[in-house]
Amino acid sequence: MKEFELEPGEHVVLEARKHWFLFLAELLPYAILAVIPFALPKLLALVPPLASYATIFDYHTTLARAILGVWLLIMWTSAWGACTKYFLNVWVLTSQRIVDIKQCGFFSREVSSLFLSRVQDVTTEVMGVLPSLLNIGTIKVQSAGEDVEFIMHGIPRPEHMRDLILKYVSVETKSTGV
């Protein structure tokens, strides 16, 4: 099932998601939390007053194995949930419109379309050291007439996306005569 049906003669030009670096940054907290049960005994052993607590983390006992297994399962499933959200949030540029698909949570989805003939202004922003090095930025698409603005944060190569939008805006404007 698709969120939107392509019109006759319409084709998908580009699908854009957040930059992979931002995706990895989202996963980092889960990775750190997953490592804690293995790192904590070693860290506790370094502090003499707390060294005796390191024996709690003996993963040969029934309870400790169960707790560790559940902890890792929660971390893994949460990370996978983040992965699901990453893939379900997408911007689709077609030859006639821009479709913004937002997955706010499970069973909470928003799909908006902006026809290219209504696009008035496209702005890109790349701010900061890392975004400049990795070429991560924000695109703002302003539509004519209304205060509708499409914003997508953290997309790779925003200038390329802007150029593509403007290219298809000019094609669409010529074909519709607007």
Partner 1 sequence: MTDQPLHPFSPPASLIAFLPNSISIGTLVQWALYIVFAFWAIYTLVAIYHWLKYSHASWVAFPAIAAHLFISFALMAYALSGTINV
- Binding residues (CB under 8 A) for partner 1: these are 1-3, 15, 49-50, 52-53, 55-56, 60-66, 68-70, 72-73, 76-77, 80-81, 83-84, 87-88, 90, 92, 101, 103, 106-107
CA distances from 8 to 5, 23, 95 (A): 9, 35, 11
Q: Which is nearer to partner 1, 19 or 131 (CB)?
A: 19
Q: Tally helices (H) and strands (E) across the chain.
A: 4, 7
Please report how close the Cβ of residue 75 comes to partner 1 at its closest, in angstroms: 9
- Rounded distance, CA 125 to CA 172, Å? 25
Closest distance to partner 1 from the beta carbon of 178 (Å): 28
Q: Whole-number minimum distance, CB 41 to partner 1, in Å?
A: 11
- Whichever of 62 and 127 has its CB closer to partner 1, that residue is 62
Residue of 161, 96, 98 lying closest to 124 (CA atoms): 161
Residue 38 or 87: which CB sits closer to partner 1?
87
**Nearer residue to partner 1 within complex by CB, 49 or 145:** 49
Least distance in angstroms from the C-beta of 89 to partner 1: 10
Nearer to partner 1, 28 or 65 (CB): 65
Distance of alpha carbon 12 from alpha carbon 7, whole angstroms: 11
The answer to whether the beta carbons of residues 99 and 112 sit under 8 Å apart is: yes
CB of 88 to partner 1, least distance (A): 6
- Helices assigned H by DSSP within the chain: 20-46, 62-88, 129-134, 158-176
Half-sphere exposure of 7 (CA within 13 A, CB side): 9
